[in-house]
């Protein structure tokens, strides 16, 4: 059964030893980030900060490692891609409920709106200010009305205004651009604290015509319950902890940034539109959520990896059915370094698969194809294949002027180039047999050797 809301997921994590309550006081400025980084480096648990200087608890690190991601999906490494692919292929539409919804147990509007009451951390001294990093934005295409949900960052400017950033190739960015061009208002809602399948559905790679509530329903195995927002016609998750309703103001541009991003580098500060908050609604005793970003591997990389891999694998397998697996590495920000395992059916097919991956929404800089005997999540095995199954002059190629990954700090004026490496054994040619001791993985060592 899917987790109904964030609280059900937290209960499961706590029972699994994957969530620890921090009862001592901790500062939102920098110390929350230090605690999260320390726990992440030790492969430790998610943390719930009860005393953070506000009236609300703050939880963070929920998806800080793959173990917790698999708990969220109720899957294993062996079943996870099939689990996500089946969900994408079987979408389930949302259902509307009439209020009162749990997310609207408390409604704050007008002069009472005060973002500084929320436990919004400042993660680094170089950051432009406190940042909402775990917010899921609900917006609609001004032309089609199709809803989109996605993770976007918001800088807290003052008690009622947030700084807005979305890459122009992301759907929220496209929706903002359309609204500005047509001179129509764009309403949005920042959703904070949801069941994990809604959070992961934001990362599934789909087209602009995709209704993301159907994707979330497929992942949950049952419909997402939605309720109408207080100050707009947007539909928002009824069981969320917080909803921050806003309207984009492109005329009031303020300096937003820097912030340490998924690339591991700070994005520079620049003028960007603002979000004027029109309402804050939340549950009683609501739990706010934070998310550490920055140099891989942080929580946002884990959150992206499974949906990115499953959805891109699904797309490529439709054209290349002998692709058996795909890895989008965390070290590459779950964006620019892709490894594909496949059995080539004809000369040059691996190269075709590389080009298809380059043309995907990931915009990778590096695409490596290996044979299925290579463990694509083991960098040593991939390097071995690149070392001894590649003739660089024949098997390595560069495609110029490819689209750059969002926020890549090293591009050529908005575009990049991509490297393809065919590290499969040559097609139709006898190749030396791999020298490996058979059966060693299951061999029972004597106790004296095991103890060493």
Tens of pLDDT along 248-277? 999 999 999 999 999 999 999 999 999 999
- CA–CA gap between residue 288 and residue 402 (Å, rounded): 39
- CA pair distance 205, 29, nearest whole angstrom: 34
Question: How many whole angstroms separate alpha carbon 267 and alpha carbon 407?
Answer: 7
Query: Residues 188, 58: contact at Cβ < 8 Å?
Result: no
Q: How far is CA 103 from CA 43, 67, 100, 227, in A?
A: 32, 28, 8, 9
Compute the average pLDDT of residues 6-32. Answer: 96
Judged against a pLDDT cut of 60, whether residue 451 lies above it is answered with: no
Give yes or no for residue 452 having a pLDDT over 60.
no
User: Which residue has 């098997």 as its token pair?
Assistant: 395
Residue with tokens 């899957």: 75
**Tokens standing for residue 170:** 């992301």
Task: Sketch out the chain's domains with CATH numbers.
Answer: 6-290 (2.30.110.10), 320-423 (3.40.1670.10)
List, edge to edge, every strand of the sheet that includes 19-22. Answer: 19-22, 46-49, 57-60, 287-290
For residues 408 and 169, what is the distance between their CA atoms, to the nearest angstrom? 13
Nearest Cα to 385, choosing from 399, 398, 397, 368? Answer: 368
Calculate mean pLDDT across residues 112-122. 98
What is the rounded average pLDDT of the residues 381-410? 94
Condensed to tens digits (0 to 9), the pLDDT of residues 38-86 reads 999 899 999 999 999 999 999 999 999 999 999 999 999 889 999 999 9
CB-count exposure of residue 329 (10 Å: 0-12, 13-18, 19+): buried
The reported pLDDT for the residue numbered 444 is 82
pLDDT band at 386, cuts 50/70/90?
A: very high
Three-state secondary-structure class, residue 423: strand
């Amino acid at each position: 059964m899917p987790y109904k809301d964030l609280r059900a997921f937290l209960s499961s994590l706590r029972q699994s030893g994957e969530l620890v309550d921090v009862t001592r006081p901790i500062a939102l400025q920098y110390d929350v980030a230090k605690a999260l980084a320390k726990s992440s480096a030790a492969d430790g648990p998610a943390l719930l900060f009860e005393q953070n200087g506000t009236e609300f608890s703050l939880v963070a690190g929920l998806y800080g490692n793959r173990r917790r991601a698999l708990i969220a999906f109720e899957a294993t490494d062996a079943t996870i891609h099939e689990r996500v692919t089946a969900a994408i292929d079987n979408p389930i539409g949302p259902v509307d409920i009439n209020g009162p919804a749990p997310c609207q147990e408390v409604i704050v509007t007008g002069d009472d709106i005060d973002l500084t009451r929320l436990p919004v951390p400042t993660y680094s001294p170089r950051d432009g200010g406190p940042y909402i990093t775990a917010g899921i934005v609900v917006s609609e295409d001004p032309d089609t009305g199709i809803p989109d949900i996605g993770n976007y960052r918001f800088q807290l400017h003052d008690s009622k205004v947030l700084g807005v950033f979305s890459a122009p190739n992301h759907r929220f960015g496209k929706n903002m651009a359309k609204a500005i061009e047509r001179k129509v208002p764009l309403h949005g809602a920042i959703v904070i604290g949801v069941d994990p399948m809604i959070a992961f559905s934001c990362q599934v790679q789909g087209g602009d015509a995709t209704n993301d509530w159907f994707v979330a329903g497929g992942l949950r195995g049952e419909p997402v319950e939605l309720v109408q927002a207080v100050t707009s016609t947007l539909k928002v998750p009824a069981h969320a902890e917080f909803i921050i309703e806003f309207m984009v103001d492109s005329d009031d541009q303020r300096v937003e940034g820097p912030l340490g991003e998924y690339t591991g580098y700070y994005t520079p500060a620049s003028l960007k539109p603002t979000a004027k908050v029109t309402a804050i609604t939340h549950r009683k005793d609501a739990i706010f959520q934070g998310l550490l970003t920055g140099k891989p591997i942080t929580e946002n990389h884990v959150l992206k990896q499974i949906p990115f891999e499953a959805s891109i694998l699904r797309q490529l397998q439709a054209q290349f059915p002998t692709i058996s697996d795909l890895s989008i590495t965390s070290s590459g920000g779950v964006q620019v370094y892709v490894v594909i395992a496949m059995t080539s059916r004809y000369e040059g097919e691996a190269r075709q698969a590389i080009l298809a991956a380059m043309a995907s929404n990931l915009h990778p800089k590096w695409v490596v194809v290996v044979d299925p005997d290579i463990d694509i999540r083991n960098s040593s095995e991939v390097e071995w294949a690149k070392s001894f199954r590649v003739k660089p002059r024949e098997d390595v190629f560069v495609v110029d002027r490819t689209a750059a990954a969002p926020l890549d700090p090293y591009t050529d004026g908005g575009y990049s180039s991509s490297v393809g490496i065919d590290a499969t054994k040559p097609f139709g040619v006898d190749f030396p047999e791999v020298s490996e001791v058979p059966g060693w993985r299951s061999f029972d060592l004597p106790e004296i050797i095991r103890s060493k």
